[in-house]
Amino acid sequence: MLYGGDEQIHFYAPMILFRELVYTDEAHFVNLNIEGTEYKAIMQDLQFHPVSEVILHVDFLQLFEGKPIKMNVPVHFEGDAPGVTKGGTLIKKRRYLSVKALPKDMPEYITVNLSKLDFGKAIKVGEIEEKNFEILDTKIASVAVVEIPRALRGKTTTAEEEEAEEAVAEGEAPAEG
């Protein structure tokens, strides 16, 4: 079904034609040719059979050049997080972000650079650069976090504390400082 224009348009197409559109993590625009008329659209909703998981129904939203649309856009992560190379675990909190933009400005995906992400740090939605689009998710929501491994969580001693402990073990008085 195609909706968003003056009237809803019902149409049928073989499931095989929707495979590349449905089974991807990219946001896609499609050109629907219904009885000789071309429509620009995006996939809005999808229904599967509960047992066989065959596509039963697809809704498309018709696009108009001057009218902004809202859609979920996938997040792509790039770069190596220093916290991960030190043994931390990267947790991807959001794989999609809700975006509002004109059809011509809608990104296929949003790139998040992990190269400055260290232990216990997070990249927030508000830190992502918006280029001719608006991210609708709350600005304080985390997109990615590097968790500190359990083995390192309890290690809060500093080099000075270790030296003081060694001095006490050897029978010396710890240095004041």
In CATH, what number is assigned to the domain containing residue 138? 2.170.120.20
**What is the reported pTM?**
0.70
The reply to whether 91 and 121 lie within a common domain is: yes
Residue 169 covered by a domain: no
Same domain? For 40 and 109 the reply is no
**74 shares a domain with 125:** yes
Q: Choose the final residue of a domain: 12, 29, 63.
A: 63
* pLDDT tens for each residue of the chain, 177 residues long: 888 888 888 888 888 888 777 777 666 788 889 999 999 998 888 888 899 888 888 888 899 989 999 989 999 999 999 999 888 899 999 999 999 999 999 998 999 999 999 988 999 999 999 999 999 999 999 999 999 887 777 664 444 445 545 544 454 444 554
The answer to the question of residue 86 being in a domain is yes
Does residue 79 belong to any structural domain of this protein? yes
For 132: left if phi > 0, alpha if psi spans -120 to 50, otherwise beta; the answer is left
Q: β-strands 142-147, 122-124: how paired? A: antiparallel
8 A C-beta contact, residue 109 and residue 73? yes
Domain presence at residue 89:
yes
Number of domains the chain contains: 2
Torsion angle of alpha carbons 128, 131, 137, 143, nearest 10°?
-30
Examine the domain organization and report whether 74 and 146 are in the same domain: yes
Residue 31 lies in a domain: yes
**Residues 10 and 48 occupy one common structural domain:** yes
Q: Residues with Cβ < 8 Å from 23, sequence gap 6 or more?
A: none
Range of the domain at 108: 70-153
Indicate if 79 and 144 belong to the same structural domain.
yes
Compute φ and ψ for 92, nearest 5 degrees: -90, 105
Distance of CA 108 to the CA centre of its chain: 12
Query: Is 148 found in the same domain as 129?
Result: yes
Q: How far apart are the C-alpha atoms of 129 and 94, rounded to whole Å?
A: 16
Residues 138 and 89 in one domain: yes
DSSP string, 115-136: TT--TT-EEEGGGSPPSSSEE-
Same domain, 75 and 54: no
Q: Are residues 52 and 98 in the same domain?
A: no
* Measured distance CA(28)–CA(20) in Å, rounded: 10
For the beta sheet containing 29-34, the strands, ordered from the edge strand earlier in sequence to the opposite edge, are 2-3, 55-62, 37-48, 29-34
77 and 13 share one domain: no
Question: From the centroid of its chain, how far is CA 134?
Answer: 14
Clarify whether residues 89 and 129 are in a common domain: yes
